[in-house]
Amino acid sequence: MLKNNGEGWRSRMRAPTPLAKIHIFRQSAFALAWACSLAGAVASPIAHAQERDNPLALLYGDEETVSIATGTQKPLRHAPSVATVITAEDIRRMGALTLEEVLTAVPGVHVSLSSRYSSLISIRGIHTRLNPQVLMLIDGYPISELFTGSRAPTFRMPLKNVERVEVIRGPGSAVYGADAFAGVINIITKSPANMAAFEAGAVGGSFDTHGGWIQASGEWLGWTMGLSIEELESEGDRDRVITADLQSTLDAVLGTGASKAPGPASTHYDITSAQLTAARPHWELSLNRWTQKRGGIGAGVAEALDPDGYQDVQQDLLRIGFDSESRLDHWRFMANYNAFRLEQQSHYTIFPQEAVLPIGSDGNLDFNLSSGPSLVQFPHGLRAEPGGIDRSTALEFAAFYDGFASHRLRIATGYKSQDLNTFESKNFGPGVIDGTQPVAGGALVDVSNTEFIYMQDESRHLKFVSLQDEWLFYKDWELTAGVRLDDYSDFSSTINPRLALVWHTSYQLTSKLLYGHAFRAPSFSEQFSINNPVTVGNPEVDPEEIDTVELVFDYRPSYDFDSKLSLFHYLIEGLIDYVDADDLPGGSSLAQNVHDQEGYGLELETSWRITDRFSLKGSYSLQQSENLSNGHSVPDAPQRLAYLDASWRMTPYLFLSSQVRHVGERSRAAFDSREEVGDYTLLDVAVRSENLFQFADFVLSVDNLLGKDAREPSVGPGPSIPHDHPLESRRILLEAVFRIH
């Protein structure tokens, strides 16, 4: 990372640790990337066979392609990354309801839970409180909220308008910039050309889950139009009982009885997803809206049950895209304008009615007994209604040139503006109470636009330029070299190179050696959060950085069988966490770059179409991550993941599929004396009737068929939730689809 501290560029001098060595390798890779690009301009022409003339393409026919690795479509086996594609057909076959359910099929990917039961998507053992290290895109544009750097609170993505999901495991900052750290997930929505003329469907089942959708496409004034509207609602599984919470601990110490535990986690939701798309040659316009009304907040924002709390979110994405489609010889130009708006309003009862809580002189919670906090009763509960409006606009240009016989160049540049406006009402904290009141009132005080809010309005601006060269420098050898420079208004600049050597070893085998450097920008909460009883931001915090090396073997002896082995090793510098700071009130913790992490492992995956009617897919992931600051394994991250998918066409119109997934070997934090988190193995099945009466499909799906008690780890000293977070019990859904082509 380059950092201007006002005295010129600062160099970091340190002993030759593994992290220092990887810095040297990164600089060499950066130099080699530029050298390869410059060499391409003067290299003697080498015959560069087009895909349609490649014997491999003739052998494998319509092999799946992926665009997430380079920004253009490329056969999956040639992609300079470790990539997985989940198609709409895969989603239908699984009977999946939301995005998180299909991501469990990706090797090396684990979906866990935060205290609010937002999905934590960890890749290759990179597992943190909110997992902002995974970048999620809709049609290539990030949907991260500015405050946490992760997805919107309790984000759930319905799937009926999804054409495919592309996932890369490993760094992607050379193409996508910030936060493409552990991996990238791109949700590609349906274009009008991929929609039926009319389709309608409904789903219903366990936990009072129900929903419906309508899709339609057609022509209007020379534009191909597509419309999709989907509604999904559920009361949640009331059997996900939390037996004790943080308020239970306070009750035991103070002799009170305010806790709502034992009681069910709050997992109800009401989601609407809609998209309007218009396309014509060279142009595409789309407006995507995702809305959540009164979404439940799991075990509570402070891990104290909050059955009355809820989350409202509205997320809008406007995209205008231009593609010259090779209008000029050897050149292709693309331009995109994106406007993203995310508005959220939280309604929290952080601690329940009749709670008695230690309050410091600043009016915030203060569990530091040495500072002499006062005990204050909250008859109406400790309540807060924070919110904010994210606004981001981005303009990006890309040019592709394939005039050289053995090169394809990609040059891109862009500008993004990001703003966060905050508002908050609460019945505690500075400007509201000062700890001298024996009883706090229930009325909420609006502290918006004052010094007492959780964060002042903030903004960020960034510019970037990137260069990528796909160079077929010798028969069957291809080198992808790329580099991207991002310049931020609030923490200077970063340079992120990548190198990918792909060797088509034989018609059956492709070998890859990959290197990438990536970064995660500090979130606004890590930089600017104030008046928080637990965590405080630090404007001096630096981006997190990662270097990853991967070795991949893709073996495909026939069109019916393929297997892939991926070996990886990474080093992370400067993971951000919150540490105790003596000069902060109430024992609050300050955001700092405090952890380095090393990880390594393997991912083995295979797909076998045994007969025309029966096929198998499976994967096994082994991953080990260590906190280099203390030598302990990274807590809560599974070291073993296994997945098996069996699909059987019983008749021409009837399909049976089943998925078995295993999660194992999760360590506790060093300070956590509980037994290790229990392993679990879950079985899901789905039966699908297709093209019944030529226009109807029906799907019956059962998740967690055997009703296993599976749990994801709770965190924190104590811990607040001693028996971890339960996953859903058995869920049965019936879906009906009717369409006119």
| Residue 716: partners with Cβ closer than 8 Å, 6 or more residues away | 303
CB 293 within 8 A of CB 233: no
Could you tell me which of 575, 197, 177 has the C-alpha nearest to residue 392?
Answer: 177
In this structure, is residue 3 part of a structural domain?
Answer: no
From the number of C-beta atoms within 10 Å of its C-beta (0-12, 13-18, 19+), residue 650 rates as: exposed
CB 481 within 8 A of CB 516: no
pLDDT of residue 713: 94
| Confidence check: pLDDT of 716 > 70 | no
Distance CA 80, CA 47 (A): 20
Could you tell me which of 663, 681, 678 has the C-alpha nearest to residue 622?
Answer: 663
| Confidence check: pLDDT of 12 > 80 | no
- Tokens describing residue 40: 């391409």
Could you tell me which of 684, 596, 599 has the C-alpha nearest to residue 639?
Answer: 599
Residue 46 pLDDT level (bands cut at 50, 70, 90) = very low
Q: What is the pLDDT of residues 309-344, one digit of tens each?
A: 999 999 999 999 999 987 678 899 999 999 999 999
Could you tell me which of 201, 104, 272, 165 has the C-alpha nearest to residue 644?
Answer: 104
Q: What is the pLDDT of residues 57-115, one digit of tens each?
A: 333 334 677 777 667 677 888 888 999 999 999 999 898 999 999 999 999 999 999 98
3-state secondary structure of 623: strand
Task: Give the number of other CB atoms < 10 A from CB of residue 220.
Answer: 8
Distance CA 249, CA 372 (A): 19
pLDDT of residue 129: 86
CA 441 to chain CA centroid, nearest Å: 39
**Total structural domains in the chain?**
1
pLDDT of residue 584: 67
Across 547-570, average pLDDT: 96
Distance CA 621, CA 604 (A): 6
Q: What is the pLDDT of residues 250-260, one digit of tens each?
A: 999 999 999 99
pLDDT of residue 356: 95
Across 338-360, average pLDDT: 96
- The 8-class DSSP code of residue 182 comes to S
In this structure, is residue 614 part of a structural domain?
Answer: yes
Q: What is the pLDDT of residues 178-187, one digit of tens each?
A: 999 999 999 9
- Across the chain, mean pLDDT equals 88
Point out which residues pair with 495 in neighbouring strands: 485
| Confidence check: pLDDT of 741 > 60 | yes
CB 111 within 8 A of CB 121: yes
| Confidence check: pLDDT of 17 > 60 | no
Could you tell me which of 490, 493, 471 has the C-alpha nearest to residue 482?
Answer: 471
CB 211 within 8 A of CB 231: yes
Could you tell me which of 549, 547, 530, 528 has the C-alpha nearest to residue 539?
Answer: 528
Q: What is the pLDDT of residues 615-629, one digit of tens each?
A: 999 999 999 999 998
Could you tell me which of 329, 471, 503, 475 has the C-alpha nearest to residue 406?
Answer: 471
Domain with 289, as residue range(s), is 18-719+735-740
Q: What are the contacts of 476-482 at 24+ separation with CB within 8 A?
A: 476/503, 476/504, 476/505, 477/501, 477/502, 477/503, 477/504, 478/78, 478/80, 478/502, 478/503, 478/504, 479/36, 480/70, 480/80, 481/32, 481/33, 481/34, 481/36, 481/37, 482/33, 482/174, 482/175, 482/410
φ, ψ (nearest 5 deg) of residue 480: -105, 120
For 53-133, where are the E strands, in sequence order? 65-66, 74-75, 82-87, 109-113, 119-123
pLDDT of residue 369: 62
In this structure, is residue 462 part of a structural domain?
Answer: yes
pLDDT of residue 69: 67
In this structure, is residue 712 part of a structural domain?
Answer: yes
From the number of C-beta atoms within 10 Å of its C-beta (0-12, 13-18, 19+), residue 707 rates as: exposed
pLDDT of residue 63: 61
Distance CA 121, CA 182 (A): 10
In this structure, is residue 727 part of a structural domain?
Answer: no
Residue 206 pLDDT level (bands cut at 50, 70, 90) = very high
End-to-end alpha-carbon separation of the chain, Å? 53
Q: What is the pLDDT of residues 459-475, one digit of tens each?
A: 999 999 999 999 999 98
In this structure, is residue 4 part of a structural domain?
Answer: no
Q: What are the contacts of 656-660 at 24+ separation with CB within 8 A?
A: 656/685, 656/686, 656/687, 656/688, 657/93, 657/94, 657/95, 657/685, 657/686, 657/688, 658/683, 658/684, 658/685, 658/686, 659/94, 659/105, 659/683, 659/684, 659/685, 660/684
Could you tell me which of 359, 378, 355 has the C-alpha nearest to residue 440?
Answer: 378
The pTM score is 0.90
In this structure, is residue 93 part of a structural domain?
Answer: yes
3-state secondary structure of 653: coil
Could you tell me which of 674, 716, 721 has the C-alpha nearest to residue 306?
Answer: 721
Distance CA 300, CA 383 (A): 12
Distance CA 607, CA 167 (A): 17
φ, ψ (nearest 5 deg) of residue 601: 165, -170
- Which CATH number characterizes residue 213's domain? 2.40.170.20
CA atoms within 13 A on the CB side of 46: 16
Residue 221, CA distances (Å) to 159, 218, 280, 308, 325 in order: 29, 10, 10, 49, 22
In this structure, is residue 440 part of a structural domain?
Answer: yes
Residue 580 pLDDT level (bands cut at 50, 70, 90) = confident
Distance CA 202, CA 213 (A): 6
Q: Which one of 126-130, 372-376, 715-719, 733-737 scores highest in mean pLDDT? A: 733-737
